């Protein structure tokens, strides 16, 4: 499959301006006016500015940023809960902005499902009825909807809870129902808007692990919104970082962590535990050469923290890097140590500027 054919959702030159005359305000933005100036001079709010993102099929694309960055506004454009001021949104190559009401309903019912921060379960419906709700909305009979709902309740660890009501479940369990409902819809694309942010830290970690476990099997196209960098780095195949409605940097998370291209990103990642987040594959020498003074084998996807423990801190060691039973590189402990130093600390020009 070519790279282009692998694109499930393509966002092109997307703008969103809130106010009484967004089209007039758009011209000011295109002329170089920023978010604060647009608000001060024209009383309009710049929600999104020239967003260009390709979302690949079968991957988790994480869109992250602080409050007000535009991340939730962006995800609501994908199923047209919010209409853009300008731009294109292509799903499977079709411009969803050209859809009439019938096609838009079909998009929301069949192509995209959504998992919300506040669970959005029907309180007067049982857990099983909630899990199969997307099927019911499509017009399927209760038996078929319940069968599919029960299948996914079992998969998310809620066997035996089908007859309960949402208020009888903990927050983490309610969010599992939300995920089961999205999976039961059998949609190609899952939209997850701050889906785990209302949960306690330990439950949140469990939910992240559950999502990754399911994704390894199902290969859904997932667009996940978060303000938490640790969560973003854990989940993302492709990471998009927003600030004031614009994309600051996007790419493979490990690459962004090693090569931030903006002071905003440098500040964002300054306090990250790099040894826990960075993977061997990101700092290894790509080679099939057997090398010398090899202390052992390490997995390409192991984090650096594990390798440091394995090496007992000896920076003179080298390891053969393996993936699927074959060598893909060599890891030199001295390179590992250098990768643990943030760009800000290792870049004299950046250090002096601050």
DSSP 109: I
Pair of tokens at residue 321: 């890097």
Domain at 58-76+96-269, CATH class: alpha beta
Report pLDDT for 245.
Answer: 94
- Cα(219)–Cα(222) distance, integer angstroms: 9
The ranges assigned to domains in the chain are 58-76+96-269, 275-343
**pLDDT > 50? residue 138:** yes
Q: Strands 221-226, 189-193: parallel, antiparallel or unpaired by DSSP?
A: parallel
Calpha distance 114→194 (Å, rounded): 11
Q: When comparing pLDDT for 78 and 276, which is higher?
A: 78
SS3 330: strand
Please provide the CATH number assigned to the domain covering 275-343.
3.90.1280.20
**Residue 187 β-bridge partners:** none
Q: Which pLDDT value is given to residue 272? A: 85
C-alpha closest to that of 238 among 116, 11, 104, 55? 55
- Buried b / exposed e over 290-305, threshold 16 CB at 10 Å, is ebeeeeeebbbebbbe
Of the pLDDT bands very low, low, confident and very high (cuts 50, 70, 90), residue 299 is: very high
| 246: nearest Cα among 35, 85, 27 | 35
Q: Of 112, 136, 113, 118, nearest to 126 (Cα)?
A: 136
Q: For residue 341, how many C-alpha atoms fall within 13 Å in the half-sphere facing its CB?
A: 10
Q: Give 17-31 as a DSSP string.
A: EESS-HHHHHHHHHT
Q: Which residue has the tokens 């330990």?
A: 202
- pTM for this entry: 0.85
Tell me which of 103-107, 220-224, 271-275 is least confident.
271-275
The whole-angstrom separation of Cα 92 and Cα 248 is 26
DSSP secondary structure letter of residue 81? S
Residue range 229-235: average pLDDT? 90
Name the strands in the sheet holding 294-299, side by side, starting at the edge strand that comes first in the sequence. Answer: 285-286, 326-332, 318-323, 294-299
Question: Are the C-beta atoms of 242 and 203 separated by less than 8 Å?
Answer: no
Per-residue pLDDT band at 333 (split at 50, 70, 90):
very high
Across the range 208-233, mean pLDDT stands at 92
Which of these, 79, 344, 117, 154, lies nearest to 231 by C-alpha position? 117
């Amino acid at each position: 499959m070519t790279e282009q054919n692998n694109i499930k959702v393509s966002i092109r030159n997307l703008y969103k301006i809130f106010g009484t005359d967004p089209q007039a305000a758009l011209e000011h933005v295109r002329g170089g006016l920023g978010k604060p100036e647009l608000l001060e001079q024209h009383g309009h709010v710049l929600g999104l500015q020239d967003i260009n993102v390709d979302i690949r099929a079968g991957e988790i694309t994480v869109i992250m940023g602080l409050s007000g960055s535009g991340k939730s506004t962006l995800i609501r454009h994908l199923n047209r809960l919010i209409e853009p001021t300008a731009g294109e949104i292509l799903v499977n190559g079709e411009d969803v902005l050209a859809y009439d009401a019938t096609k838009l309903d079909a998009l929301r019912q069949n192509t995209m499902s959504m998992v919300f921060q506040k669970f959005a379960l029907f309180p007067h419906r049982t857990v099983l009825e909630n899990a199969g709700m997307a099927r019911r909305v499509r017009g399927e009979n209760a038996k078929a909807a319940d069968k599919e709902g029960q299948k996914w309740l079992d998969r998310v660890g809620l066997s035996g809870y089908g007859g309960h009501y949402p208020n009888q479940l903990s927050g983490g369990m309610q969010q599992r129902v939300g995920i089961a409902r999205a999976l039961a819809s059998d949609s190609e694309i899952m939209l997850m808007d701050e889906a785990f942010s209302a949960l306690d830290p330990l439950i949140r970690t469990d939910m992240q692990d559950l999502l990754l476990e399911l994704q390894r099997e199902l290969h859904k196209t997932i667009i996940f919104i978060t303000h938490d960098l640790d969560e973003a780095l854990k989940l993302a195949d492709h990471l998009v970082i927003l600030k004031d409605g614009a994309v600051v940097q996007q790419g493979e998370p490990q690459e962004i962590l090693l090569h931030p291209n903006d002071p905003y990103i440098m500040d964002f990642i300054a306090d990250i535990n790099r040894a826990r987040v960075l993977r061997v594959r990101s700092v290894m020498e790509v080679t099939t050469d057997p090398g010398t003074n090899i202390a052992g084998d390490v997995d390409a996807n192991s984090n650096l923290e594990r390798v440091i423990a394995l090496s007992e801190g000896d920076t003179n060691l080298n390891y053969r890097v393996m993936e699927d039973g074959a060598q893909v590189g060599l890891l030199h402990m001295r390179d590992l140590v250098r990768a643990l130093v943030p760009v800000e600390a290792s870049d004299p020009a950046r250090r002096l500027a601050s």
